[in-house]
Structure 1
Amino acid sequence: MTDGMRAARQLPWTGPEGKPAYLLTDGTGPLSRLADAVDTAQLDMAGQLLCHAADLLDDPRSTPDQLRYLLTCMYAALTDVHRIAENRLAAR
């Protein structure tokens, strides 16, 4: 998405009513840097969650409730990672 010259970046948070929030930017402003930091944090969290998932799946004592919670967290992380990937593809 562009406004003629500048690209619209989807932000890593939503606006009112859960709708996507966009920023018209050249990518150098403070809000762009904040969005970059949030993207990085979300990717780091997804990586940590993968490590935790490996441990939990290897543990035969893991309960169905623990696995369901893991799946809920992985769904949220995958949603974030998917959005980041789509944004990066769109920025090419």
Structure 2
Amino acid sequence: MRLLPWVGESGAPCYLSTDDPGGRMSRLADEVETDLLDSAQYVLTEARALLAETGVGTRELRFTGVRLAESLRDTLRIAESRGYRLAPALTSPEDEETAVDAAAPRASAGGV
């Protein structure tokens, strides 16, 4: 399951069930992620410039803060999604066996 970089109408996360990273929806999600990250970079650059100015008004600061929060939310969602997709590649077969062994119930010492 891939966490998509957008949410549904109710604000709930959207997921894509596919193993094909080259599929149409996967490519669309990749493009949206790229656009969101580019936008976040732009917002950060503009926010830094605004914050370097003296005499900036409350409205400008509020607007900038809202845009920064939106960009951070989008960037964190993308990082979470990419982390989920990296996790299987970072887990070796030995790690999986260890995790299965650790999760297996242990027999009691009384030999039940």
Aligned length: 85
How far apart are the structure 2 equivalents of 1:70 and 1:9? 30
Q: Is the counterpart of residue 52 in structure 1 residue 32 in structure 2?
A: no
1:39 to 23, 26, 33: 33
Alignment of 1:1-92 (within 5 A): 8-26=1-19, 27-92=21-86
Residue identity opposite 1:70 in structure 2: T
TM-score normalised by structure 2 residue count:
0.73
Structure 1: 5+ residue stretches without partners: 1-7
Q: Which runs of 4+ in 1 moved over 3 A?
A: none
State the Cα RMSD in Å. 0.9
Give the deviation of 1:13 after TM superposition. 1.3
Unaligned 5+ residue runs, structure 2?
87-112
Offset at residue 89 of structure 1 (A)? 1.0
